[in-house]
Amino acid sequence: MSTHRLTAPAPGWTAATDVVVVGSGVAGLTVALNVRKAGLRAMVVTKAVLDEGSTRWAQGGVAAALGEGDTPEQHLDDTLVAGAGVCDEEAVRTLVTEGPDAVRRLIATGALFDRGEDGEVLLTREGGHHRRRIVHAGGDATGAEISRALVAAVRTDPGIELIEHALVLDLLTDAAGHAAGLTLHVMGEGQRDGVGAVRARAVVLATGGMGQVFSATTNPAVSTGDGVALALRAGAAVTDLEFVQFHPTVLWLGPEAEGQQPLVSEAVRGEGAHLVDADGVRFMVGQHELAELAPRDIVAKAITRRMQEQGAEHMFLDGRHFGAEMWEHRFPTILAFCRANGIDPVTEPIPIAPAAHFASGGVRTDRHGRTSVPGLYACGEVACTGVHGANRLASNSLLEGLVFAERIAADLAGLDAAGDLPERAVDVAAARAAQPVPLPPSEARAEIQRLMSRGAGILRSAASMADTAAGLALLAEQARSHVAEEKPADPRVETWEAANLLLVATALVTAAAQREETRGCHWREDFPERDDAHWRRHLITTLAATGGPVSTPEEQ
């Protein structure tokens, strides 16, 4: 039987399913496959094509205690250390104990990981891990292989409906406030864009990260924080937004470079490459027992500090001692994009600088992926399960997507079996007609990114964030006044994304300004110390009645 695949639904289109999953990365596709195994119908809606998201860009791999002598307990310890005191230990325990089998099931689904001559899966090391426990594929093309395998699996399942080119806008709820579906903006080729809707018994957000709120990021263009914005507008709690991980080693392409930048994976340091300054000094030695393999926040801060001290725009990653053969076999993707940008890692050190990489926070969930809105689930980078704390341990995010996707499907199956997943009544026509937010013009995106990178990026202070917040407030005010003057921006993908970026950026700055300490990847210049007495807790962000985000510290 062939897959029911609808690539360009017409405006006004309405459909129904059991579980609608938003996003087609590792999290979304794993939810869909497992929901199907439970006998429920699934629909995956994605705003570009199926493999367009962070998943296919992942290089390093997936962490799991699969090696000889390694244990989930050791993986737990490393994760808690990286998380800087605010991980949810039970969530981490779930991740590391269910992780190895989740990886084995991914292999059974068809993902081909690199193997040694003995046929065993090869394991590498990355920053913060005290063991070799990272499985990888195609050398440094792990995400592409996972994406390929999962896309192939959903395409051959006739019970999974796949909708591409449909940007999900907002949640539909029934009279009791239970999730009942979604509104979406459909982009038909050769057709007019317009608003459609999907009715469903449960909704799973798997929309990935929000790296595009910053000017330089490793995230693709689709990572605009749409799921967090949707959840906020739906009344759900989000948390830990201030903990944005900046990847220490992103290829430096010049001072004017913007948008998605190529990542030089931590695995390159795992295999022995050195971080050096322009004089060839290995500045990580003596700063941390793991030197170049210290947790990411420590490495990113050390690089930034060195850049400031020396007035340099970048540092270098030196892997010349690997030799050509190792570069070609172990890191073919990185080698290719470096060479495409005029740098040959075989003969010269690679210029690198930190860039926004991973959102440790997101829509708050329990260990079943449930958010604070009944029937609304979140999974993958959009979610905050509590496993990352203040800083994600390398290669734990693909694993989180796998493990918690399976748990969401199990929860939905249990609800269905108990009769707790009935059809929901909802006024689709009214929801489709509603205009949920004032839309800024599409050019607002670049301005949001500039404001965020300048004032709320790797270096933050009360003063820098106040400037950023004022700039964001002005953009929001301009969008509102265009609506009042009956000159609203056109509802297009670009303007919806700008609206979501504006809301998510404002929420992030609200939380980051409130956390008056330095912890994990949140680095305050005006509060350089970690303050366990006041801040060993989470900030919960919601939308106030006035429409703006408010962050409240959780009880200690």
Ligand X SMILES: Cc1cc2nc3c(=O)[nH]c(=O)nc-3n(C[C@H](O)[C@H](O)[C@H](O)COP(=O)(O)OP(=O)(O)OC[C@H]3O[C@@H](n4cnc5c(N)ncnc54)[C@H](O)[C@@H]3O)c2cc1C
Q: Is 46 in the site for ligand X (CB under 6 A)?
A: yes
Q: β-strand 5-6 against 160-163: which pairing, if any? A: parallel
Interface pick for ligand X out of 83, 99, 100, 143 (rule CB under 6 A): 143
The residues with which 275 forms a beta bridge, in sequence order, are 317
Least distance to ligand X, CB of residue 12, Å:
18
Q: Is 495 in the site for ligand X (CB under 6 A)?
A: no
The residue with tokens 């009791």 is 176
Q: Where are the beta strands (DSSP E) in 114-190?
A: 123-124, 134-135, 160-163, 166-173, 179-186
Q: Is 304 in the site for ligand X (CB under 6 A)?
A: no
Q: Give the total of residues touching ligand X (CB under 6 A).
A: 44
Three-state DSSP class for residue 220: coil
Q: Is 47 in the site for ligand X (CB under 6 A)?
A: yes
Least distance to ligand X, CB of residue 175, Å:
25
Which position among 296, 392, 424, 445 bears the catalytic label? 296
Q: Is 40 in the site for ligand X (CB under 6 A)?
A: no
Q: Is 59 in the site for ligand X (CB under 6 A)?
A: yes
End-to-end CA distance of the chain: 54
Interface pick for ligand X out of 222, 241, 284, 439 (rule CB under 6 A): 222
Interface pick for ligand X out of 24, 34, 124, 518 (rule CB under 6 A): 24
Least distance to ligand X, CB of residue 146, Å:
8
Q: Is 402 in the site for ligand X (CB under 6 A)?
A: no
Q: Which stretch binds ligand X (CB under 6 A): 55-63, 106-114, 365-373, 528-536?
A: 55-63
Q: Is 21 in the site for ligand X (CB under 6 A)?
A: no
Interface pick for ligand X out of 167, 204, 237, 502 (rule CB under 6 A): 167
In whole angstroms, give the CA distance from residue 361 to residue 213.
14
Q: Which two tokens stand for residue 422?
A: 């009935």
48 sits in which H/E element: none
Q: β-strand 274-276 against 315-318: which pairing, if any? A: antiparallel
Q: Is 48 in the site for ligand X (CB under 6 A)?
A: yes
Q: Is 53 in the site for ligand X (CB under 6 A)?
A: yes
346: burial class by Cβ within 10 Å (0-12, 13-18, 19+)? middle
Q: Which stretch binds ligand X (CB under 6 A): 149-157, 289-297, 395-403, 472-480?
A: 395-403
65: burial class by Cβ within 10 Å (0-12, 13-18, 19+)? buried
Number of H helices, E strands in the chain: 15, 24
Q: Which stretch binds ligand X (CB under 6 A): 70-78, 200-208, 279-287, 529-537?
A: 200-208
Q: Is 356 in the site for ligand X (CB under 6 A)?
A: no
Question: 468: closest CA among 438, 500, 499, 510?
Answer: 510
* 296 is a catalytic site residue: yes
Cβ pair 55, 147 in contact under 8 A: yes
Give me the active site residues, please: 296
Contact set with ligand X (CB under 6 A): 22-28, 45-48, 52-55, 57-62, 142-143, 167-168, 206-209, 218-219, 222-223, 226, 263, 358, 380-382, 395-398, 401
